[in-house]
Amino acid sequence: MLIGELAQLAGTSTRTLRYYEAHGLVRPQRSANGYRVYDEAELRVVREIRSLIAVGFSLDDIRPFVACLRAGHTSGAVCPDAVAVLRHKIAEVNGCIEQLDAVRRRLHAQLDEAVTSRGCAAARSDGGLSHH
């Protein structure tokens, strides 16, 4: 299949597919006229990439998964390198969640304080709007 068809099947754009190729993730054949030609395996590769991108992986993170598929495995996650990335990413996500949770608590604290002290933290003495 040609690049337009693959883009449709994979739910992405031709630009994106060329971008992946430029970064060594997808490797189409070339027909006589110079057109990129993809097979089913490449479709699977692209779908793997897309689903990993969707969960926030970078292209570098994804590389081992593609290599794994390309090695003939039915899943991109069964090879050691990919598993390592998975573990690393899970830890990263956990750290992210912790940080966000801390942020959430801080924001809640600020909000509570703001609501509680409504009017108390008003400007310059006499409860008016006499600024400066």
Partner DNA sequence: CTAGACGTTGACGTCGGCGTCAAGGCAAGG
Partner DNA sequence: CCTTGCCTTGACGCCGACGTCAACGTCTAG
Tell me which residues touch DNA (CB under 7 A).
2-5, 12-16, 18-19, 32-36, 53, 57-60
- Selected from 4, 13, 31, 100, the binder of a copy of itself by CB under 8 A is 100
Instruction: Based on the shown chain and the rule CB under 8 A, indicate whether residue 107 belongs to the binding site for a copy of itself.
Output: yes
Shortest reach from residue 18's CB to a copy of itself, in Å: 25
Q: What is the spatial distance between Cα 22 and Cα 64, in angstroms, rounded to a whole number? A: 16
Q: What is the spatial distance between Cα 73 and Cα 45, in angstroms, rounded to a whole number? A: 11
Among the listed ranges 1-9, 10-18, 26-34, 79-87, the one in contact with a copy of itself (CB under 8 A) is: 79-87
Among the listed ranges 5-13, 16-24, 26-34, 91-99, the one in contact with a copy of itself (CB under 8 A) is: 91-99
Residue 5 interacting partner from DNA, a copy of itself, none (CB closer than 5 to 8 Å by kind): DNA
**Which residue carries 């008003």 as its tokens?**
122
**Residues binding a copy of itself (CB under 8 A):** 44, 55-56, 71-75, 77-78, 82-83, 86-87, 89-90, 93-94, 96-97, 100-101, 103-104, 106-108, 110-111, 113-115, 117-118, 121-124, 128-129, 131-132
